A and B are shown apart, each in its own frame.
Chain A
Amino acid sequence: MNISQEDAKASLSSVQNVMGQTHKALSSAYANPLLIMWGLLWLIAFTTTHFYIPYAFYIFMAMSVIGGIGTAVIIRAFHSKAPVKETSTNNLSWRITALWIFLCIYIIIWLFLFAPFTGLQCNALICTAVMFAYIVMGLWFNNRFMIVLGLVVTAGTLVGFYLLRNYYCLWMALVGGGALFGTGLYIRLRWR
């Protein structure tokens, strides 16, 4: 049986399509509920902070606690119906959890070391550190969207910090919360 160049091309193209589809479908299964939840939390927390700036610390503490609990609930809910499981004991979900726990510890260390002068500096440091973790996760899972999202929100944070100080929180609600929520929604609608 001979196969022509056209058949070979068609086969290679089919392989590319299925690989892309698989990658997107698996990413969407886990990523979109978390991105949508964190996007909404950022949106609410930053918008509320703009109007009640003295309560910023409490608002962001509440957001972190709600987000942490929400993340655990979503991961647990998805674990039982996960489309992919690992055969090795080197469990991926534990490594991801460890990454975020270490990030939180390092953010606290950096806050003590650099002692940011204002709440704005403090917030920008945390936002850029979190986005750095998004980029790391994107590189880890070979997920272009996570990398782009991390870079876009980092750039948005810098623009807000240097150019829109008076509207920083509203800007971050739009750019940070909007980007996370929008990406989650896009993945949910387009990658299914």
Chain B
Amino acid sequence: MAQLDNIIHQPVRLQIMSSLISLDQNEQVNFTYLRKLLKLTDGNLGAHLTKLEEAGYIKIEKTFVARKPCTFVIATGKGRDAFAEHINALKEIVEGSKKQIQ
């Protein structure tokens, strides 16, 4: 039985993880691009990314592109596994019984 993940389950964090999981394992996405894509504010996205980073689900890398500071975000292996488990749990709920968030 797959378990729901209360860090990922929050709607904004679920969107962030969905977006990052869409990329290949070795691809990282630009912070600004992610903010525009998900229609979030800098502060809102930053706060949720920090939560996900603390859980070890994503990695944040600050770098310079064409001499401008740039932040890139990538889903970790642990994050991908947790997301897959969360999705499986959601599917199980849709298919049948209610589930308790751990």
Contacts and interface: CB of A to CB of B under 8 A. Distances in A.
A22 B19 contact: yes
B30 A83 contact: yes
Q: Chain B contact residues: over half helix, strand or loop, or mixed?
A: mixed
**Interface footprint category on B:** 20 to 34
B94 A19 contact: no
A84 B98 contact: no
A2 B9 CA distance: 12
B50 interface: no
Contacts of B15: 14, 18
A83 to B, nearest CB: 4
B78 interface: no
Contacts of A80: 65-66
Interface in A21-46: 21-23, 25-26
A65 interface: no
A81 B29 CA distance: 11
A84 B30 contact: yes
A83 B33 contact: yes
Contacts of A18: 14-15, 18-19, 22, 38
**Interface footprint category on A:** 20 to 34
Contacts of B90: 8, 11-12
B99 interface: yes
B74 interface: yes
Interface stretch (A85-93, A95-103, A118-126): A85-93
Nearest 9 A-B pairs (CB), nearest first? A83-B33, A8-B93, A18-B18, A22-B22, A88-B26, A22-B19, A15-B18, A8-B90, A19-B22
12 contacts: A2-B101, A8-B91, A12-B87, A15-B87, A18-B14, A21-B19, A25-B37, A81-B65, A83-B30, A84-B23, A84-B27, A86-B24
Interface of B: 4, 6, 9, 11, 14-15, 18-19, 21-24, 26-30, 33, 37-38, 65-66, 72, 74, 87, 90-91, 93-94, 98-101
Given A18-B38, A19-B21, 17 more contacts: A1-B101, A2-B99, A3-B93, A3-B98, A4-B98, A11-B14, A12-B90, A14-B14, A15-B18, A15-B87, A18-B14, A21-B19, A22-B22, A83-B33, A84-B29, A86-B28, A87-B28
